[in-house]
Structure 1
Amino acid sequence: MGGIGAWQLVIIAVLVVIVFGSKKLPDTARALGKSLRILKSETSALRKDGDSAEAQSAQHDPAAPQPATRTIQAAPGDVGSARPVEEPRGNAQG
Protein backbone atom coordinates (compact mmCIF):
# COMPACT_ATOMS: atom_id res chain seq x y z
CA MET A 1 0.00 0.00 0.00
CA GLY A 2 1.09 3.54 -0.68
CA GLY A 3 3.66 2.65 -3.35
CA ILE A 4 3.44 2.54 -7.11
CA GLY A 5 3.78 -0.98 -8.43
CA ALA A 6 5.05 -2.31 -11.73
CA TRP A 7 1.57 -2.57 -13.26
CA GLN A 8 0.77 1.03 -12.48
CA LEU A 9 4.02 2.15 -14.17
CA VAL A 10 3.19 0.08 -17.27
CA ILE A 11 -0.29 1.61 -17.45
CA ILE A 12 1.16 5.13 -17.07
CA ALA A 13 3.72 4.45 -19.82
CA VAL A 14 1.02 3.18 -22.19
CA LEU A 15 -1.13 6.25 -21.49
CA VAL A 16 1.82 8.56 -22.19
CA VAL A 17 2.45 6.84 -25.54
CA ILE A 18 -1.24 7.10 -26.43
CA VAL A 19 -1.54 10.77 -25.43
CA PHE A 20 1.71 12.07 -26.95
CA GLY A 21 2.11 9.62 -29.80
CA SER A 22 5.19 7.61 -30.56
CA LYS A 23 6.51 10.17 -33.07
CA LYS A 24 6.63 13.03 -30.55
CA LEU A 25 8.30 11.10 -27.73
CA PRO A 26 11.88 11.15 -29.14
CA ASP A 27 11.63 14.89 -29.83
CA THR A 28 10.25 15.50 -26.36
CA ALA A 29 13.03 13.43 -24.78
CA ARG A 30 15.65 15.29 -26.85
CA ALA A 31 14.24 18.67 -25.79
CA LEU A 32 14.18 17.56 -22.16
CA GLY A 33 17.82 16.42 -22.36
CA LYS A 34 18.83 19.70 -23.96
CA SER A 35 17.04 21.64 -21.22
CA LEU A 36 18.79 19.61 -18.53
CA ARG A 37 22.20 20.28 -20.14
CA ILE A 38 21.42 24.01 -20.20
CA LEU A 39 20.35 23.91 -16.56
CA LYS A 40 23.52 22.04 -15.59
CA SER A 41 25.78 24.49 -17.43
CA GLU A 42 23.98 27.50 -15.93
CA THR A 43 24.24 26.16 -12.37
CA SER A 44 27.92 25.37 -12.78
CA ALA A 45 28.48 28.86 -14.19
CA LEU A 46 26.66 30.35 -11.19
CA ARG A 47 28.82 28.34 -8.80
CA LYS A 48 31.95 29.41 -10.64
CA ASP A 49 30.80 33.06 -10.59
CA GLY A 50 30.06 32.81 -6.86
CA ASP A 51 33.53 31.44 -6.14
CA SER A 52 35.21 34.12 -8.25
CA ALA A 53 33.05 36.85 -6.66
CA GLU A 54 34.19 35.79 -3.19
CA ALA A 55 37.82 35.84 -4.28
CA GLN A 56 37.34 39.16 -6.04
CA SER A 57 35.68 40.79 -3.02
CA ALA A 58 38.66 39.77 -0.92
CA GLN A 59 41.08 41.48 -3.34
CA HIS A 60 38.93 44.26 -4.84
CA ASP A 61 40.96 46.50 -7.16
CA PRO A 62 38.94 49.33 -8.76
CA ALA A 63 41.63 49.92 -11.41
CA ALA A 64 41.45 46.32 -12.62
CA PRO A 65 40.03 45.82 -16.14
CA GLN A 66 36.50 44.44 -16.44
CA PRO A 67 36.18 40.82 -17.67
CA ALA A 68 35.21 40.25 -21.28
CA THR A 69 31.69 39.27 -22.28
CA ARG A 70 31.17 35.53 -22.07
CA THR A 71 29.12 33.34 -24.38
CA ILE A 72 26.98 30.58 -22.94
CA GLN A 73 26.27 27.71 -25.30
CA ALA A 74 23.15 25.66 -24.72
CA ALA A 75 24.54 22.31 -25.80
CA PRO A 76 27.61 20.99 -27.61
CA GLY A 77 27.26 21.83 -31.29
CA ASP A 78 24.16 23.99 -30.76
CA VAL A 79 25.46 27.33 -32.02
CA GLY A 80 22.05 28.76 -32.88
CA SER A 81 21.03 29.31 -29.27
CA ALA A 82 24.40 30.61 -28.02
CA ARG A 83 24.13 34.12 -26.67
CA PRO A 84 26.46 36.68 -25.14
CA VAL A 85 25.80 37.56 -21.52
CA GLU A 86 26.80 40.62 -19.55
CA GLU A 87 28.53 40.11 -16.25
CA PRO A 88 26.67 41.67 -13.32
CA ARG A 89 28.20 44.86 -11.97
CA GLY A 90 28.70 45.65 -8.30
CA ASN A 91 25.63 47.89 -8.08
CA ALA A 92 22.29 46.11 -7.72
CA GLN A 93 19.20 47.81 -9.00
CA GLY A 94 15.77 46.49 -8.47
Structure 2
Amino acid sequence: MGEMSPWHWAIVILVLVVLFGSKRLPSAARSLGQSLRIFTSEMKEMHADPRAAKTNPPTTAGSASQRPPAQPVPTTEPTGPDVDFGRS
Protein backbone atom coordinates (compact mmCIF):
# COMPACT_ATOMS: atom_id res chain seq x y z
CA MET A 1 0.00 0.00 0.00
CA GLY A 2 2.85 2.39 0.77
CA GLU A 3 4.82 1.49 -2.35
CA MET A 4 4.46 3.12 -5.73
CA SER A 5 3.86 0.46 -8.37
CA PRO A 6 4.73 1.07 -12.02
CA TRP A 7 1.05 1.82 -12.69
CA HIS A 8 1.09 4.56 -10.06
CA TRP A 9 4.17 6.15 -11.66
CA ALA A 10 2.56 5.96 -15.10
CA ILE A 11 -0.54 7.75 -13.82
CA VAL A 12 1.58 10.44 -12.11
CA ILE A 13 3.58 11.03 -15.30
CA LEU A 14 0.40 11.17 -17.38
CA VAL A 15 -1.15 13.73 -15.04
CA LEU A 16 2.02 15.88 -15.17
CA VAL A 17 2.06 15.80 -18.98
CA VAL A 18 -1.62 16.73 -19.14
CA LEU A 19 -1.25 19.56 -16.61
CA PHE A 20 1.98 21.14 -17.82
CA GLY A 21 2.31 19.99 -21.41
CA SER A 22 5.14 18.07 -22.97
CA LYS A 23 7.02 21.23 -24.01
CA ARG A 24 7.22 22.78 -20.54
CA LEU A 25 8.33 19.67 -18.62
CA PRO A 26 11.91 19.49 -20.00
CA SER A 27 12.53 23.17 -19.30
CA ALA A 28 11.12 22.78 -15.78
CA ALA A 29 13.37 19.77 -15.14
CA ARG A 30 16.39 21.65 -16.52
CA SER A 31 15.64 24.64 -14.29
CA LEU A 32 15.23 22.39 -11.25
CA GLY A 33 18.55 20.67 -11.99
CA GLN A 34 20.34 24.00 -12.38
CA SER A 35 18.89 25.26 -9.10
CA LEU A 36 19.97 22.08 -7.34
CA ARG A 37 23.53 22.42 -8.70
CA ILE A 38 23.73 26.04 -7.50
CA PHE A 39 22.38 25.05 -4.09
CA THR A 40 24.85 22.19 -3.65
CA SER A 41 27.81 24.33 -4.74
CA GLU A 42 26.82 27.05 -2.26
CA MET A 43 26.46 24.45 0.50
CA LYS A 44 29.92 23.03 -0.28
CA GLU A 45 31.38 26.53 -0.24
CA MET A 46 29.70 27.28 3.07
CA HIS A 47 31.02 24.07 4.65
CA ALA A 48 34.53 24.65 3.25
CA ASP A 49 34.93 28.08 4.87
CA PRO A 50 32.25 28.86 7.47
CA ARG A 51 33.74 32.29 8.31
CA ALA A 52 33.49 33.46 4.69
CA ALA A 53 29.91 32.23 4.44
CA LYS A 54 28.92 34.30 7.47
CA THR A 55 30.64 37.51 6.37
CA ASN A 56 29.93 37.25 2.62
CA PRO A 57 26.45 35.84 1.98
CA PRO A 58 26.11 34.29 -1.49
CA THR A 59 24.62 36.55 -4.12
CA THR A 60 22.96 35.73 -7.40
CA ALA A 61 22.34 37.66 -10.57
CA GLY A 62 20.01 40.55 -9.82
CA SER A 63 21.00 40.54 -6.19
CA ALA A 64 19.14 42.56 -3.61
CA SER A 65 22.16 44.82 -3.08
CA GLN A 66 21.53 46.41 -6.46
CA ARG A 67 17.89 47.19 -5.68
CA PRO A 68 16.53 49.18 -2.77
CA PRO A 69 14.60 47.18 -0.19
CA ALA A 70 10.91 46.82 -0.83
CA GLN A 71 8.72 49.31 0.99
CA PRO A 72 5.17 48.51 2.07
CA VAL A 73 2.51 50.19 0.00
CA PRO A 74 0.25 52.40 2.10
CA THR A 75 -3.33 51.35 1.66
CA THR A 76 -6.51 53.06 2.66
CA GLU A 77 -9.84 51.44 3.14
CA PRO A 78 -12.21 52.56 0.41
CA THR A 79 -15.31 54.35 1.61
CA GLY A 80 -18.51 55.16 -0.12
CA PRO A 81 -22.00 53.83 -0.73
CA ASP A 82 -20.87 51.24 -3.31
CA VAL A 83 -18.43 49.47 -0.93
CA ASP A 84 -19.90 46.73 1.26
CA PHE A 85 -17.68 44.82 3.66
CA GLY A 86 -20.50 42.70 5.02
CA ARG A 87 -21.01 45.02 7.97
CA SER A 88 -24.76 45.29 8.26
Which category of TM-score, normalised to the shorter sequence, fits these structures?
0.5 to 0.7
TM, length-normalised to structure 1: 0.53
Which deviations, in whole Å up to 9, do the C-alpha atoms of 1:44-94 show, x marking residues without a partner? 0110112xx4xxxxxxxxxxxxxxx7x86x7xxxxxx387xxxxxxxxxxx
Counterpart for residue 11 of structure 1 = 11
CA distance in 2, matches of 1:45, 1:2: 37
Counterpart for residue 32 of structure 2 = 32
CA distance in 2, matches of 1:16, 1:25: 8
TM-fit CA distance, 1:26 = 1.0
Rg (Cα) greater in structure: 2
RMSD (CA atoms): 2.5
Structure 1 residue ranges, 4+ long, deviating more than 4 angstroms after superposition: none
TM, length-normalised to structure 2: 0.56
Identity %: 38
Q: Number of aligned pairs?
A: 59
> Could you list the runs of 5+ residues in structure 2 that have no partner in the other structure?
64-88
Name the one with the larger strand percent. Answer: 1
Counterpart for residue 45 of structure 1 = 45
> Could you list the runs of 5+ residues in structure 1 that have no partner in the other structure?
54-68, 75-80, 84-94
TM-fit CA distance, 1:11 = 0.5
